[in-house]
């Protein structure tokens, strides 16, 4: 069994974090992906307890007061947070714990747990990012515009991460991410 590690994966919405993380889990048997809590509404196909824990805002805020989150942040008018107890449990069980979270939360994690490994996923270009966001077809124009604005802010923080991966060729990006996780886990 390998020692538990914490990996934080960020990058603009549409950079392909979700796909990369799904592929990572297929290739790294001891990887465990944290399920976040959010106040946003489920999108079609999302499943409670799998995609997210969908909580009313009052419940979310009560959990923040109780110290239930490792980190939490507001993003596009909704709150998102990482449940602390499950991250501790899985790290203790020797898992490679993966958080797929936005930048403000990632920087909170770095402050609280400097031993965390921060990975920033970059889109090949802003044009490609916008094309991917529109292609998803689930967001309104207003949401796409807001997320593009947020993307610029997020990209301005990429140098605060331990590594940056450009998600141009998906297979290459997956291979780089898998290698980073395995190399880190095996250095211990």
Residues near ligand 5GP (CB under 6 A): 13, 36, 40, 71-73, 75, 80-82, 100-102, 104-105
Nearest distance from C-beta of residue 73 to ligand 5GP, angstroms: 4
Q: By beta-carbon distance, which residue lies closest to ligand 5GP?
A: 105
Decide whether 72 or 161 has the Cβ nearer to ligand 5GP: 72
Name residue, tokens 């392909």.
16
Round the CA-based radius of gyration of the chain to a whole number and report it: 16
φ and ψ at 102, to 5 degrees?
-85, 180
Nearest distance from C-beta of residue 100 to ligand 5GP, angstroms: 5
Cβ pair 37, 112 in contact under 8 A: no
Decide whether 2 or 163 has the Cβ nearer to ligand 5GP: 163
User: Other CB atoms closer than 10 Å to residue 135's CB: what's the count?
Assistant: 8
User: In sequence order, which residues have a C-beta less than 8 Å from that of residue 129 and are 6 or more positions away?
Assistant: 12, 14, 15, 123, 148, 151
Decide whether 28 or 52 has the Cβ nearer to ligand 5GP: 52
Decide whether 52 or 96 has the Cβ nearer to ligand 5GP: 52
Nearest distance from C-beta of residue 1 to ligand 5GP, angstroms: 26
Name residue, tokens 């490994």.
117
């Amino acid at each position: 069994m390998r020692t538990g590690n914490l990996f934080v994966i960020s990058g603009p919405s549409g950079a392909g974090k979700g796909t990369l993380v799904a592929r990572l889990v297929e290739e790294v048997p001891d990887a465990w992906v944290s399920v976040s809590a959010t106040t946003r509404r489920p999108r079609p196909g999302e499943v409670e307890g799998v995609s997210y824990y969908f909580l009313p805002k009052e419940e979310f805020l009560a959990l923040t007061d109780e110290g239930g989150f490792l980190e939490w942040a507001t993003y596009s008018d909704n709150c998102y947070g990482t449940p602390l107890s499950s991250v501790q449990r899985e790290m203790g069980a020797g898992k490679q714990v993966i958080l797929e979270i936005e930048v403000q939360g990632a920087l909170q994690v770095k402050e609280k747990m400097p031993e965390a490994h921060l990975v920033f996923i970059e889109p090949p270009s802003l044009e490609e990012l916008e094309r991917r966001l529109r292609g998803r077809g689930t967001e309104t124009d207003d949401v796409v515009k807001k997320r593009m604005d947020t993307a610029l802010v997020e990209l301005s923080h990429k140098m605060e991460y331990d590594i940056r991966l450009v998600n141009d060729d998906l297979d290459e990006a997956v291979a780089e991410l898998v290698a980073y996780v395995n190399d880190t886990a095996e250095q211990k």
